[in-house]
Amino acid sequence: MPMTDTIRRIALVTGGSRGLGRNTVEHLARRGIDTIFTYRSRRDDAEQVAAEVARVGRKAIALPLDAGDSAQFDAFVEQVRRSLADFGAERFDYLVNNAGIAHHESIERTTEADLDALYNVHFKGVFLLTQKLLPLIRDGGRIVNLSSGLTRIVFPGSAPYASMKGAIEVLTRYMAKELGPRRIAVNVVAPGAVETDFSGGTVRDNPEVNRQVAELTALGRPGLPDDIGPMIASLLSEDHRWVNAQRIEVSGGMAI
């Protein structure tokens, strides 16, 4: 049931203009939650998301951010403060660290530049941005970090990406422990293969890859954004207030 404005809840979602991030923002709106979300360069996509949120009677503010450039973070936090003032708030309730980049290459062929880019977005960026946003998160709030089914399911060519996500899973448990005194629950969601434009839309647009994923999945198909966004929105709700420090895979039973 949507929350009323008298108990307004606000989420911050990185990488919210496309794919799983967009789906999460839209499902949060349907639950009565307003959102500040980030986009990297596609302002047109961000405007579409904000318009969709407005259609269900909520508000979303889009802010530009390169999640791999920590030099932007201080200025971004100030933008968040100003955006919260637009909501009539000083704090927000939920942080979803979703922004990411894809990489598929063998260990042998991965360059130092490739590894640095993955590290900057998937670990350093998550660590430092969360650190800088902590003063703006309400006590009793929640954080969801995004990992990947690839931390459990080994596909050659995914080692660098999966290793960064593995680090996020460890970081999530430490966040949960250290933020426990503030009653901030921290969990990690690990999607399986999903039909989005991530990684060039490989799962969505390549029939052979799509078939292989379907054969590996107990429920017989790849995931869809609508399989993930509602789950994240639900995890942030009071229904899951006692779920903490957990890795939750959302893969339809892939490679079991």
Long-range contacts: 219-224, Cβ < 8 Å, 24+?
A: 219/252, 219/253, 220/252, 221/252, 222/192, 222/193, 222/194, 222/195, 222/252, 223/191, 223/192, 223/193, 223/194, 223/195, 223/250, 223/251, 223/252, 224/194, 224/195
Opening angle at CA 169, ends 234 and 23, nearest 5:
35
Classify residue 256: in a domain, yes or no. no
What is the extent of the structural domain holding 13?
5-250
Q: Is 94 a catalytic residue?
A: no
Classify residue 255: in a domain, yes or no. no
Supply the pTM of this predicted model: 0.94
Neighbours of 127 (CB within 10 A): 16
Catalytic residue among 39, 94, 161, 174: 161
Classify residue 87: in a domain, yes or no. yes
Classify residue 70: in a domain, yes or no. yes
Identify the CATH number of the domain in which residue 56 sits: 3.40.50.720
Classify residue 60: in a domain, yes or no. yes
Contact 163, 174 (CB under 8 A): no
From first to last of the 256 residues of the chain, give the pLDDT tens digit: 444 445 799 999 999 999 999 999 999 999 999 999 999 989 999 999 999 999 999 999 999 999 999 999 999 999 999 999 999 999 999 999 999 999 999 999 999 999 999 999 999 999 999 999 999 999 999 999 999 999 999 999 999 999 999 999 999 999 999 999 999 999 999 999 999 877 667 788 788 889 899 999 999 999 999 999 999 999 999 999 999 999 999 999 999 9
How many domains would you assign to the chain? 1
Classify residue 139: in a domain, yes or no. yes
